[in-house]
Structure 1
Amino acid sequence: MKLIKSQDSRAVRLLQTDGEVIEALQVLRCASQRMRRMGVPYWQPRELGLGALIGRRICGELIGGFENSKLCATMQLHLHDTEFWPEAIRGDAIYLHKLAVAERHARQGWGDTMVSWAAVFAVRESCSRLRLDVVPGALERYYELLGFQPVGEVRSARAGGTVIKMERLLKM
């Protein structure tokens, strides 16, 4: 994955150091706490461990959004998702997970910036779809505004109920 500049002072790229991973972990943990306060206990604490995130960085799956060299947002991109999309054909989609924006950068367009970067990356990887899963509620509507459509539901013990599978078709 290469650096793709999205705006003059913004850049989205792979996280490169363990220090950046620690910053991403802080963003994820704070976002998880905000979600829990909204009644959406989606990410479990065991999913937000430093070792797992370092592994994601090493695999080239942990992405950061930076403004003036400061981490503002993070997400994970995967080539497959056997938990929520076991029937999917490999190589047809990129799976977006754990998109989180630092609270001080909320409502500044970072979600759109990160999803747009993921879409460009997916097309570069010859994938025609960008997929994600979300618990029903406000985030579902948010992703619809970013061009995703619900395409199914699946029960998830980890998420504590139903998860909406969403997909954004990409122009190749």
Structure 2
Amino acid sequence: MPYTLIKSSNPEDFVLVHRFLMQAIQRLRAAGIPLWEPEDVSVDALVKAYGTHSLYLVMDNEKTIGGVFVLEEDALFWPEIVTNDSFFFHKLVIGDDFITKGIGHRVLDALVELAKSHGKHWLRCDCHGDRPRLRNFYESFGFYFIDRKTVEGFDAARYEYPCL
């Protein structure tokens, strides 16, 4: 089943995505996998980091099951990219009640289609460099590993996917 991405126009959507991110933090901490601190995903922190117009909701028919922040520039993690040929995504999350095997790749398909529909040549992301399962997830989809670098104390593995 394909999933769709709908650009958020409702400030309350940040509250919902914050809830999904908190579920992810708790789920991964229980598995011994560090992620963000709760204050890093507060609504205020999300708005400050990504602005009010970057949130896309992951939809399964009429139901919101997750969210992702999509930017046209990312000077923090990708300062060398100065062309307007990329989408950068952050904090892709699916709520605990909706996690199923394979949904992540279908959401990545939707992100690729979103990038293509905006004429972007690249879809780029970063993730924690010391999370082999997450890195394998991106690589199994077809993302190319670019490098690993420290950004503001964060060990970032950077990836890109060709869209056009």
TM-score by length of 2: 0.85
1:57/1:85 CA distance change after superposition, 3 Å: closer
Partner residue, 1:70 = 63
Query: What CA distance in whole angstroms lies between the structure 2 residues aligned with 1:38 and 1:82?
Result: 32
2:93 aligned partner, one-letter code: A
> Per the alignment, in what secondary structure is the counterpart of residue 58 of structure 1?
coil
For the pair 1:134 / 2:127, whether they are aligned, the reply is yes
Separation of aligned partners in 1, 2:100 and 2:70: 22
Residue correspondences, number? 161
CA distance in 2: counterparts of 1:11 and 1:115, whole angstroms: 10
Point out where structure 1 has 5 or more consecutive residues left out of the alignment: 1-5
1:155 to 150, 154, 161: 150
Identity of aligned residues (%): 22
Q: What is aligned with 1:81?
A: 74
Quickly say closer, same or farther: Cα 1:121–1:152, change in 2 above 3 A: same
Q: Quick one: distance in 1 between partners of 2:38 and 2:70?
A: 20
Q: In structure 1, what is the equivalent of residue 52 of structure 2? A: 58
CA contact (8 A) 1:75 1:114 kept: no
- Does the CA-based 8 Å contact 1:151-1:167 persist in structure 2? yes
- CA distance in 2 between counterparts of 1:46 and 1:168 reads 30
Aligned counterparts, 1:1-172, within 5 A: 7=2, 10-53=3-46, 56=50, 58-59=52-53, 61-135=54-128, 136=130, 137-159=132-154, 162-171=155-164
SS at match of 2:139: helix
CA distance in 1, matches of 2:4, 2:125: 22
Change (3 A) 1:92 1:68: closer
Per-residue deviation, residues 16-43 of structure 1 (Å, max 9, x unmatched): 3233322111001111222333444332
- For residues 47 and 150 of structure 2, the distance between their equivalents in structure 1, rounded to whole angstroms, comes to 29
Change (3 A) 1:67 1:126: closer
Partner Cα distance (1:57, 1:86) in 2: 18
Q: CA deviation at 1:105?
A: 1.2
Contact 1:15–1:63 (CA under 8 A) maintained in structure 2: yes
Say what the alpha-carbon RMSD is for the aligned residues: 2.2
**Structure 2 unaligned residues grouped into runs of 5+:** none
TM-score (norm 1): 0.81
